[in-house]
Structure 1
């Protein structure tokens, strides 16, 4: 009889095809229940995909409203295809939810942790939520159980925090239970597709049997390959390195963008053309880097190693300063028109950190607004996905823009809803496009695009750029 996915048996038994088949059948038939700790925007889609493969899944969350919602077959996460899937899985009994972590731990044989890891002021990673979940799991952990970290955590968390805590709290020895890392590689708006196979899964355990058990768990979840790595720390580092790469690359693009006036060119055009070479892949500049992931992951590395990481630290500093650079550009252009930023009326278009996603965490627009406030501007915000009033910012509906007296507009997040704005009905002194998202041709507006230089004595309007484009085309 299969007692769990983890089994410190002989190498010959691990390779036995019938044993593997028995374990897979026990998992997909529901005889080995799975507990998913964290039912947020990544956790609920993961729990649903597990259940959709035939597993019996118990979702755990500290928020009773979230648990009641899921247990009733409703969906609190805005994600394409998720609501009907949750409703079906709850109705068939394959998915349920509870706030009782210890009870879920006592019932489950597989424990998957997918809760956020935040960063405290000063850059120290905050593992308190992960540690609270591990404490709950320890109350019900049994020999043969497998614990999987999908949360993005600092490297060595599984080895130095999760495993020792489980050993100390349960009295079980390493080798009686498994601990593995399978970092989530999922984006909001495409979570189900990503979990089911957009990218390879990465798994690494604290020992070879933990890795094998994790491979078995995810084999039926993804249509893509499952890539085993040397150990749990390597798997943790894979996800952190992915985020740092993007942060450094964006910082390079942002630094290049700040040279546009000195060079008198469109840095964006230069980047786009340079990227025609396969060895070059410079990202797009912008007003900053937001979301839960990229702004935090550099700290996961810098806080855990004694080796100096000046490139990682500098990239983070460059990206954190971009909201100030954006406001500097606006203030400079207002002064060139004879205006000033203090007491200016400014509309900020887009609050969320990414277009089409109702998420405000670390959103650059919030820092842009804070800097505008600090310099004495009067700010209103426009966003079709979130209510600005929820973060104490005066809001403005898109359709009210023509009736609002504005000195400037700053586009920070290019929601598609902004495409329907009739700019000829709006008359700000300056329009700052921090994302190069506006297609304004033959317009009277003074348009300033982040990363596009202007001559020292005049502004390059959208009409000027259109004429230049026509000449190039000829």
Structure 2
């Protein structure tokens, strides 16, 4: 009569084809008669998990059998003030969570593609985006130097893996992953245009941000790792990384001549180029007085774009990125 609730985001079929058989084998019990099985994917945004669970989103649940469903509804109705969505099958509930991530990934890829188009065409992406989004049926996302974390880059791969097994083409999902995976390389190529190519082997580049997104310390699958690799392909002498929330990262030991610091002034000292990778709130207030004469590539569209009129700065999606 115990209740088992599985919460991770998993490929459709995981609960029924993998988890339940393991539990039944190890316990010598049956899910149909001896214990209850619930699937409830966590729907949280890192940094506000408890608030999301209790206040912001309804719980998505499914279960094996009516008894499990009744117990699930009773428990989660107490916790989730936005209510409970009961889905007919566990596979459907597993897919629902993945769809949330795929939606984000595809829309970010669209924004990245449009931003690159605007750069080549001499169009201000950000003005065009703001105007387009004034129409209630348009929701263009923000472009960026890369997509990281343990969710958005991963969920599409779950879908693509299952699709391959059942011979279904998910072309938009696949192409979107390729676009977003390619953004660090693209943005580094844009950024180094702020320097003379011959200067790269003796240059120091500062990357602002190691976390995969702003105002968290989580570095899993952070685009910054790809940025480091791309810069080192171009032979950059030294790379400084600043992050206000990440104090140590063993993964950086895999790279040579890379320094991590939480001291912002130390990070940009003697720097020849600054690349903004993570949209930490702390960086938004930085201006010309801080950057001095160091050229900046804003890979998140975080900084005041009017800085570009007075300072050597490139912003992703800016039509003025056509530099000599």
Tell me whether the two structures share a fold, i.e. TM-score over 0.5.
yes
Q: 2:271 aligns with which of 387, 394, 406?
A: 406
Residue 227 (structure 2) aligns with:
368
Q: What is the alpha-carbon distance in structure 2 between the residues aligned to residue 277 and residue 351 of structure 1?
A: 35
1:58-97 deviations in Å (ceiling 9; x for gaps): xxxxxxxxxxxxxxxxxxxxxxxxxxxxxxxxxxxxxxxx
Residue 347 (structure 1) aligns with:
206
Query: Which range moved further: 373-382 or 421-430?
Result: 421-430
Work out which of the two has the higher radius of gyration on C-alpha atoms and give 1 or 2: 1
1:151-172 deviations in Å (ceiling 9; x for gaps): 1111111111112222222222
Residue 242 (structure 2) aligns with:
382
Cα distance change, pair 246–389 in 1 and its aligned pair in 2 (3 A)? closer
Structure 1 residue 400 displacement after superposition:
2.6
Q: What is the alpha-carbon distance in structure 2 between the residues aligned to residue 422 and residue 359 of structure 1?
A: 26
Unmatched runs of 5 consecutive residues or more in structure 2: none
Residues 286 and 303, structure 2, Cα contact 8 Å, conserved in 1:
no
Q: What is the alpha-carbon distance in structure 2 between the residues aligned to residue 171 and residue 205 of structure 1?
A: 20
Equivalent residues in 2 for 1:237-248, closer than 5 Å? 237-248=95-106
Q: What is the alpha-carbon distance in structure 2 between the residues aligned to residue 208 and residue 245 of structure 1?
A: 31
Which secondary structure state, in structure 1, belongs to the residue aligned with residue 232 of structure 2? Answer: helix
Residue 36 (structure 2) aligns with:
178
1:251-289 deviations in Å (ceiling 9; x for gaps): 111111111232101122212211111111111000111
Which secondary structure state, in structure 2, belongs to the residue aligned with residue 394 of structure 1? Answer: strand
1:280-337 deviations in Å (ceiling 9; x for gaps): 11110001111110111011111123212111111111111100011010123324xx
Residue 159 (structure 1) aligns with:
16
Relative to the length of structure 2, the TM-score reads 0.90
The answer to whether residue 185 in structure 2 is matched with residue 324 in structure 1 is yes
Q: What is the alpha-carbon distance in structure 1 between the residues aligned to residue 198 and residue 206 of structure 2?
A: 16
Q: What is the alpha-carbon distance in structure 2 between the residues aligned to residue 310 and residue 262 of structure 1?
A: 25
Residue 282 (structure 2) aligns with:
417
Q: 1:451 aligns with which of 288, 295, 317?
A: 317
Query: Which range moved further: 297-306 or 231-240?
Result: 297-306
Residue 358 (structure 1) aligns with:
217
Q: 2:2 aligns with which of 124, 127, 145?
A: 145
Relative to the length of structure 1, the TM-score reads 0.62
Residue 54 (structure 2) aligns with:
196
Cα distance change, pair 174–344 in 1 and its aligned pair in 2 (3 A)? same
The answer to whether residue 301 in structure 2 is matched with residue 439 in structure 1 is no
Structure 1 residue 395 displacement after superposition:
2.4
Which secondary structure state, in structure 2, belongs to the residue aligned with residue 259 of structure 1? Answer: helix
Q: What is the alpha-carbon distance in structure 2 between the residues aligned to residue 147 and residue 168 of structure 1?
A: 15
Which secondary structure state, in structure 1, belongs to the residue aligned with residue 192 of structure 2? Answer: helix
Q: 2:25 aligns with which of 163, 168, 173?
A: 168
Q: What CA RMSD, in Å, does the superposition of the two structures yield over aligned residues? A: 2.0
Q: What is the alpha-carbon distance in structure 1 between the residues aligned to residue 305 and residue 49 of structure 2?
A: 34
Which secondary structure state, in structure 1, belongs to the residue aligned with residue 146 of structure 2? Answer: coil
Residues 58 and 84, structure 2, Cα contact 8 Å, conserved in 1:
yes
Q: What is the alpha-carbon distance in structure 2 between the residues aligned to residue 440 and residue 339 of structure 1?
A: 28
Runs of 4+ in 1 over 6 A off after TM superposition: none
Cα distance change, pair 359–219 in 1 and its aligned pair in 2 (3 A)? same
Query: Which range moved further: 182-191 or 447-456?
Result: 447-456
The answer to whether residue 143 in structure 2 is matched with residue 285 in structure 1 is yes
**Structure having greater relative contact order (Cα 8 Å, sep ≥ 6):** 2
